[in-house]
Amino acid sequence: MSGTLVLCGAPIGDVRDASPRLGEILATADVIAAEDTRRVLRLAHALGITITGRVVSCYDQVEGARAAMLTGQLLQGATVALITDAGMPAVSDPGFRVVAAAAAAGITVTVVPGPSAVTAALAVSGLPSDRWTFEGFLPRRGGERRGRLRELRDETRTMVFLESPHRIEASLRDLAAVFGGPRPAVLCRELTKTFEEIVRGDLAALVAWATDGRVIRGEFTLVVGGGAGRGPVTVTFGSAAAASAGGVPGPGPAARGGVGVDPAVEAALAGLAGLGGAEVPGAQAAGGVDGVDGVDGADGASTVSAEVLAAEVARRAATGMSRKDARRAVAADHGVSRNDVYAAELAARPARPARPARTRP
């Protein structure tokens, strides 16, 4: 008979938040897999219990190997307690590989619920919590971080982020730059600990807080209000873009910088338009100002030219990004579908020279 894997929620600061059941599990489990073995021993001491089982480390770098070992123990009937330094295992902490391996082996997985910095910060933020999204840690590199934030710019749900003291200032600056300074936000530091601090305001105010000369310490949970959402975005092709730029479209295929669109390409665009909402060359943009990127129309719609989309894909591809990933990134940045982006690439290709007419001898 197989054993049971018990996920143990650990206090995020104040040890008094530990449940009596957590103490019981730690005292009786056959194996305790801990992110930091020293910290779980200190926790046991604070709870006044004695650990009798085997204590093994289970941090990020060894979790894959530990998952196989712990699954073997579970299949032999052992009770394994999985605990991280604070909060719930597998939530921005080690644990999901162990859980996945145990579940795949048909082993019972249960939980001892405990404190969570994510839900605690969301609750005290005062921001809408009926619908929210957990985004964890942002990328370390500035370019990647700003790219991720651009993907989230039009998210309408409240967002929860985690951040370290070393990167909180840079992350707040990037958030304010991408989301806008007036976006409401609440920064929670050292929740339930002695120096707990909750800073309320907007992103601009939080940047001012982080750059006022203070020494920044502790772990941070940041709650950011959702955006208003992006209205429909129309991709302008051919004569619509040319007209806004002062060009005079001629009859037949729409002009693309002086180069006609191949009839085969135009047909392909028409097919893609039915799939992704892209506009067929020569058609007028509904709402908004034709051919002017980012301009809102009376109904809140905005436009982006196919030429801009195609150029951005080419620029990203030139840096080594695959065309598929480049299309996905450009689509996310502009709020259009990947079909729209692909249609823009087709429209930007030079027209094939017309074949000479065949003459009979």
In the chain, residues under CATH classification 3.40.1010.10 are 4-115
Q: Does residue 251 carry a pLDDT above 90? A: no
pLDDT of res. 185 = 98
3-state class (DSSP) for residue 256: strand
At residue 248, does pLDDT exceed 50? Answer: no
Q: What is the mean pLDDT of the chain?
A: 83
Amino acid (one-letter) located at 292:
V
**∠ Cα 164 170 175 (to 5°):** 100
**pLDDT tens digits along 99-137:** 999 999 999 999 999 999 999 999 999 999 999 999 999
Predicted confidence at residue 245, as pLDDT, reads 42
Q: What backbone torsions phi and psi does residue 54 show, to the nearest 5 degrees?
A: -80, 135
Q: What is the mean pLDDT of residues 68-76?
A: 96
- Per the listing, tokens 């982080």 go with 210
Is pLDDT larger for residue 269 or for residue 311?
Answer: 311
Alpha helix positions (H), 50-167: 63-75, 96-104, 117-125, 142-152
- The residue with greater pLDDT, 279 or 143, is 143
Rounded CA gap, 56 and 45, in Å? 17
pLDDT at 254: 38
Considering only residues 333 and 5, tell me which one the structure prediction assigns the higher pLDDT. Answer: 5
What's residue 350's pLDDT? 77
- Length of the chain in terms of residues written: 361
Residue whose tokens read 């370390």 = 140
What does the pLDDT look like over 185-231, one tens digit per residue? 999 999 999 999 999 999 999 999 999 999 999 999 999 999 987 66
User: Can you give the pLDDT at residue 77?
Assistant: 96
How wide is the angle at C-alpha 176 spanned by C-alphas 175 and 181, nearest 5°?
A: 145
Q: What are phi and psi of 322, to 5 degrees?
A: -65, 155
Residue 212 burial class via C-beta count within 10 angstroms: exposed 0-12, middle 13-18, buried 19 and up: exposed
| Strand, coil or helix: 334 | helix
Phi, psi for 225 (deg, rounded to 5): -65, 150
Mean pLDDT, to the nearest integer, of 306-321? 89
Q: Which fold has domain 4-115?
A: Cobalt-precorrin-4 Transmethylase; domain 1 (3.40.1010)
Sheet containing 158-163: give its strands across. 132-137, 158-163, 220-224, 184-189, 197-202
Q: Nearest-CA neighbor of 101 among 110, 93, 112, 109?
A: 109
* Mean pLDDT value across residues 288-302: 43
pLDDT > 90: percent of the chain = 61
CATH 3.30.950.10 domain residues, the chain = 118-224
Contact yes or no for 27/52 (Cβ under 8 A): yes
Average pLDDT score over residue span 275-286: 36
Can you tell me the distance from the alpha carbon of 262 to that of 349, in angstroms, rounded to the nearest whole number? Answer: 9
Identify the residue with better confidence: 249 or 198: 198
118-224, what's its fold? 3.30.950
